[in-house]
Structure 1
Amino acid sequence: MQFENTLEFAQRLDKQDTLNSYRDHFLFPKVNEKQVIYFTGNSLGLQPKNAKKYVDEVMQDWEELAVEGHFYADKPWWDYHERLANPLSKIIGAKPSEITVMNTLTVNLHLLMVSFYRPKGKRYKIICEEKAFPSDQYMLQSQVRFHGYDPNDAIVEIKKRDGEHNFRIEDILDTITEVGEECALILIGGVNYYTGQVFDMKTITKAGHDIGAFVGWDLAHAAGNIKLELHDWDVDFASWCSYKYMNSGPGNASGCFIHERFHNQTEIPRFEGWWGTSRETRFLMKPQFEPMPNADAWQLSNAPILALAPYLASLELFDEVGMDALIKKRNLIVAYLEYILKEIDAQVESTFEIITPSNPKERGTQLSVFLHGEGKKLFEFLMKNGVITDWREPNVIRLAPAPFYCSFEDMFRFGQILKQGILEKNSELSS
């Protein structure tokens, strides 16, 4: 498609967009009494309008039924979490039995490592990406120390080449081969939080299995953003937060995937709690743990219903639309944003470097832009003028036009505000 940097062209794309009406299903903050251009769905998705209804239902059941809401609410609380498994399975590429929802992301990764990081003898090393999200770094370091190893020895980081912003698949595979039978676990973010690079999860998972290691994925920036086929890719486990692209609300519950081959393994190391025991005998209060025959065996406590309610509300929208339609719009709107950035770059005395891969297969919704010659004042200008984005040191803004609620007109308007900010800065410098 031949793009144009005009309002008329952007509005024409919006009219052709089959998902354009879903924008009205979300609530937007306002700056200067105008609806913002929202680029931070990769940090916290906007609130779906139906979320309040789902939460209010729980509050009303609590008011009217109290404890009896566990069994007699319209959506009984005791099996509330099970309603999320089917819609999530379509987003994650899994069987519903391989999905559970519990806790929060880093908590779940720690719990999953009880099962999937089992260092023994010379097989004790973990492979991860260089400069992984800090929470993952802290988790991995504490896990290897817990098992008595030195993180500097036990954690092997895949490096980027000098002068390059992204990882090369050949370097990842070479590292896996080099570590070989010393590797106990590979745990990588499916989408790099800083650059937005999408990893070849299928190829990396196979390479890890070929050397006898478990392979897991942190899908914080992948779930609801890119096409996933965790079951078919033979991934051992994964976890993700729900508050980014899946719009479930701040700090909300995390999803987990555990491949079905690990279900019904009573001998597998696992921290256990009563919500993971057989639902048929759970309320008999038996002293012996009887694991659920699915991913729910990894649950510990009864589900946080008030947290799950907005998550279920958002998943209703995902179920209506489907990931294929979201990805189709995602590819087009990200390409248009890329075009707008290059157009503005050519019109002003500045240099933008998009450090996210240009290949659509290697990126999702996010474009990370290195603002050479600019500083944080430009970011602050954008924020004051209704463009909600985020800043990452040393000089990067991340732009994530979530396809559910971002429009092509947003992309055009962003370009005009960006241009205005740079021209005003240049004018100040020359005066």
Structure 2
Amino acid sequence: MSDYKLGLDYALQQDQNDELKAYRSHFHIPKDKQGNPWIYMTGNSLGLQPKQTKAYVNQELEDWANLGVEGHLEAKNPWLPYHEFLTESMAKVVGAKPIEVVVMNTLTANLHFMMVSFYNPTKTRYKILIESDAFPSDKYAVESQLRHHGFDDKEGLILWKPRKGEELLNYEDLESILEAQGDEIALIMIGGVNYYTGQFFDLKRISDLGHKHGCNVGFDCAHGAGNVQLNLHNSGADFAVWCTYKYLNSGPGSLAGCFVHERHAHRKDLNRFTGWWSHNKQTRFNMRDEFDQLTGAEGWQLSNPPILSMAAIKASLDMFNEVGMAKLTNKSKKLTGYFEFLLKTLGEDIIKIITPNNPEERGCQLSIQVKNADKALHNKLTEANIISDWREPDVIRCAPVPLYNSFEDVFRLVEKLKAILNE
């Protein structure tokens, strides 16, 4: 969209015409001590609380109070199959089939469980390829897997790096790495959307490339789920993991999601860690049966799920199901494009946006470098009621989330930034 206009009137008009405008009122927008609402731009770190979440969690608290253990079968939403209430909606969010998706554990735990199955090193093929500026947790996890299997965690880790003087990663460089070392790489594990730059990778291209060279391929979609159209099934990836507390608004430290491609659904030869929740549902409570593995992503579960956390996820997913990812990403592209347009009016000698300018290669996050700025600028924004995110050495990350951020939010943020820079 190149027909953005300056001025508050334009922003208000866009909000007026926004088909998703009603959803903002479905969220708690935090306020300062004087009661003024924050301009909240950190849904990429922790999403805001949907107002209906309390009722969903209270339902489970009441059923627990009134039914005790009988709630497993008698609760309004019985606890025994509770994770199944989330599967279809979550599958739609990430572009997968229900058999490929399960909500369980937390993000890095899921990453480790996936690597038990999909990191199968041999003496000659044992290396793991990640992006050079992967989220630290991913890097720590893959390094620990290398050590666990008896390999050197520095020598066994291959980093896909940006070119000198650039921030974004280049697919031709990935192709070169695989041409040179593909037969030594057991696993490619990339963040679907890079947390720092906001670059959204072509998951299918990476999967096809990895598989061509005999590597397993997985993605950490923490910054992608609920933000971009991931199309995980069509990507052909072996697995993916994501958290639900960012764009999926499920609350701090909430449970995570897991995708295992349908072609692995019935494989009993895959190494995995198991627990009673990955055992056949029909005979699970017979207790003394030999292990009988569930098919699909459910077969990677270990423990019975924490219902209170799942209730908060259900509250959010019901809203996502109502809106759909197509409408969300449509608004997101317009809103982020507008944000980019306004930032560029501040002067490209002052502001540098390191996120790709192609809307197909990013979600709603823009990562901004301000010339000669340090964390003091971020602190001034915070004092001006703008909640953004600072990442060392010099990036402010802002994510105008389409479910609850408005064009007016974006306009006021840039006006406040302009005022601070002119001080």
Give the TM-score taking structure 1 as reference length: 0.96
Shift in Å, 1:378: 1.6
2:353 matched to which residue of 1?
354
Secondary structure in 1 matching 2:120: coil
**Which amino acid letter does the alignment assign opposite residue 267 of structure 1?**
D
Displacement over 6 Å in runs of 4+: none
Which one of 149, 157, 162 corresponds to residue 160 of structure 1?
162
Residue pairs, 1:19-58, within 5 angstroms = 19-31=20-32, 32-58=34-60
CA contact (8 A) 2:200 2:362 kept: yes
Match for residue 17 of structure 1? Answer: 18
8 Å Cα contact 2:190/2:218 also seen in 1: yes
**What amino acid does structure 2 have at the position aligned with 1:222?**
G
Q: 2:183 corresponds to which residue?
A: 181
Q: Quick one: distance in 1 between partners of 2:114 and 2:192?
A: 16
Amino acid at match of 2:98: P
Partner of 1:306: 308
Kindly indicate whether the alpha-carbon contact (under 8 Å) linking 2:332 and 2:401 is maintained by their aligned counterparts in 1. Answer: yes
Deviations 1:49-92 (CA, angstroms, capped at 9, x unpaired): 11101000000000000100001001000100011110011111
Given that residues 169 and 200 in structure 1 are in contact (C-alpha distance below 8 angstroms), is that contact kept between their aligned partners in structure 2? no
Map 1:81-160 → 2, pairs under 5 A: 81-160=83-162
| Distance apart, 1:21 and its partner CA | 0.6
Could you tell me which amino acid in structure 2 is paired with residue 416 of structure 1? E
The answer to whether the 8 A contact 1:128-1:157 is kept is yes
Q: Distance in 1 between matches of 2:127 and 2:286?
A: 42
Query: 1:187 is paired with a residue of what secondary structure?
Result: strand
Superposition deviation, residue 150 in structure 1: 0.4
- Aligned AA (1:366): Q
Listed as ranges, the matches of 1:250-289 within 5 Å are 250-289=252-291
Counterparts of 2:133 and 2:366 in 1: how far apart (Å)? 18
Offset from partner CA, 1:313-368 (integer Å, 9 cap, x none): 0000100000000000000000100111112337xxx7110000111111111000
Give distance in 2, aligned partners of 1:242 and 1:107: 14
1:230 aligns with 2:229: no
Show the counterpart of 1:8.
9
Superposed displacement of residue 419, structure 1: 1.4
Query: In structure 2, how many angstroms separate the alpha carbons of the residues matched to 1:180 and 1:52?
Result: 49
C-alpha contact (below 8 Å) 1:127/1:176 kept by paired residues: no
241-250 vs 378-387, greater mean Cα deviation: 378-387
Q: Match of 2:236, SS?
A: coil
Letter paired with 1:354: I
Q: Secondary structure of the residue that 1:216 maps to in structure 2?
A: strand
The question of 1:396 aligning with 2:395 is answered yes
Q: Does 1:407 align with 2:406?
A: yes
SS in 2 for 1:382: helix
Asked if the contact 2:106–2:254 (Cα under 8 Å) also holds between the matched residues in 1, the reply is: yes
Q: Distance in 2 between matches of 1:48 and 1:116?
A: 36
Cα distance between partner residues in 2 of 1:171 and 1:180? 13
Superposed CA deviations along residues 228-253 of structure 1, whole A, max 9, x for unmatched, are 11112211000000000000000100
- 1:71 partnered with 2:106: no
User: Alpha-carbon deviation of 1:287?
Assistant: 3.9
Distance 1:206 1:248 in 2: 32
2:46 touches 2:252 (CA, 8 Å); kept in 1? yes
- Matched residue SS, 1:47: coil
Deviations 1:8-30 (A, max 9, x none): 11000001100011000100111
Aligned-partner Cα distance in 1 for 2:230–2:154: 32
* Matches of 1:358 and 1:264, distance apart in 2: 41
Tell me whether 1:249 sits opposite 2:274 in the alignment: no
Deviation for aligned residue 1:396: 0.9
Superposition pairs for residues 365-380 of structure 1, below 5 Å?
365-380=364-379
2-structure distance, mates of 1:21, 1:155: 47
Q: Distance in 1 between matches of 2:391 and 2:295?
A: 43
State how far apart, in whole Å, the 2-side matches of 1:382 and 1:51 are.
Answer: 29
Alpha-carbon separation, structure 2, partners of 1:211 and 1:148 = 23
Answering whether residue 182 of structure 2 is matched by residue 205 of structure 1, we say: no
**Could you tell me how far apart the structure 1 residues matched to 2:28 and 2:362 are?**
27
For the 8 Å contact 2:283–2:289, the answer to whether it is kept is no
Cα distance, 1:385 vs structure 2? 1.2
Q: Could you tell me which amino acid in structure 1 is paired with residue 355 of structure 2?
A: T
Equivalent pair of 1:173/1:204 in contact (CA under 8 Å): no
Match of 1:427 in 2: none
Amino acid at match of 1:19: L
Give the Cα–Cα distance (whole angstroms) in 1 for the partners of residues 265 and 395 of structure 2. Answer: 43
1:209 shift after superposition: 0.5
Q: Distance in 2 between matches of 1:334 and 1:323?
A: 16
Aligned residue runs from structure 1 range 211-226, under 5 A: 211-226=213-228
1:323 aligns with 2:297: no
Q: What is the TM-score of this pair, normalised by structure 2? A: 0.98
Given that 1:5 and 1:343 are in contact with CA atoms closer than 8 Å, whether structure 2 keeps it comes out as: no
What's the counterpart of residue 363 of structure 1?
A: 362
> What's the C-alpha RMSD, in Å, of the aligned pairs?
1.0
**What do residues 145-201 of structure 1 show as CA deviations (whole Å, max 9, x unaligned)?**
000000121110011100001001111122122211111110000000000001111
Q: Secondary structure at the match of 1:151?
A: coil
Which residue pairs with 1:429 in the alignment? none
Look up the SS of the partner of 1:238 in the other structure: strand
CA deviation map 1:245-280 (0-9, x unaligned): 000000100000011221222221000000110011
Structure 1 residue matching 2:345: 3-state secondary structure: helix
1:173 and 1:388 mapped to 2: Cα distance?
A: 39
Give the secondary structure class of the aligned counterpart of 1:235. coil
Cα distance between partner residues in 1 of 2:89 and 2:55? 19
